């Protein structure tokens, strides 16, 4: 039986989605479970398909992170930390393997209406329907994009907030946090 690395994957999409929402009082086990699913599932997926792609000198690996991985928030800290890890992994991997013919895409969606987000009681600006999210991801992959981010208004707001000094950013996040 062939190993999975010998199967000719051309463009696998790797993702995990588990969110420990309340940051205060979240047990270590919930933080570890979130990191295991959201980050290590991507690591294991890459390990399964990358050797074959490198051998063939072609392929694209895509992984789903989140706009939440750009900066920490007061809500869902384990989730945002795990998605930040995915972003850094994928961006670093892109630099390592691009010269060998393997492309890397990181998908950073905002809030997408799913059973996971249905549990949230906080406001989710620019909520995107799942079919719209899927269309945006497919279009980005077809265009060979290194990063797929949506929705644009939320993505630009979060990216601009990344330029703020840490203390100002923290003050704004405390003000926006659910009470």
Let me know if 157 is exposed, middle or buried by CB neighbors in 10 A (0-12, 13-18, 19+): middle
Q: 79 catalytic, yes or no? A: yes
CA–CA distance, 52 with 70 (Å, rounded to integer): 31
Instruction: Please give the structure tokens belonging to residue 70.
Output: 């750009």
Residues 86, 69 contacting (CB under 8 angstroms)? yes
The residue among 22, 13, 66 whose CA lies nearest residue 41 is: 13
With tokens 């051998």, the residue in question is 55
Catalytic residue among 79, 81, 128, 137: 79
- Phi/psi region, residue 157 (left: phi>0; alpha: psi -120 to 50; beta: rest), is alpha
Known catalytic residues are 79
């Amino acid at each position: 039986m062939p190993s999975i690395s010998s199967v000719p994957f051309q463009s696998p999409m790797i993702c995990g989605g588990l969110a420990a929402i309340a940051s205060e009082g979240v047990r270590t086990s919930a933080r570890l479970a979130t990191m295991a699913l959201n980050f290590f599932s991507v690591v294991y997926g890459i390990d399964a398909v990358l050797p074959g792609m490198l051998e063939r000198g072609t392929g694209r690996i895509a992984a789903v992170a989140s706009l939440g991985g750009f900066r920490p928030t007061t809500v869902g800290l384990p989730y945002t930390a795990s998605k930040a890890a995915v972003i850094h992994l994928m961006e670093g991997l892109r630099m390592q393997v691009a010269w060998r013919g393997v492309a890397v895409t990181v998908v950073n969606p905002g809030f997408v209406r799913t059973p996971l987000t249905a549990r949230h009681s906080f406001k989710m600006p620019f909520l995107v329907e799942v079919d719209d999210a899927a269309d945006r991801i497919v279009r980005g992959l077809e265009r060979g994009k290194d990063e797929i981010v949506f929705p644009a208004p939320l993505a630009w707001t979060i990216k601009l907030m990344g330029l703020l000094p840490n203390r100002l950013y923290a003050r704004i996040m405390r003000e926006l946090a659910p009470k």
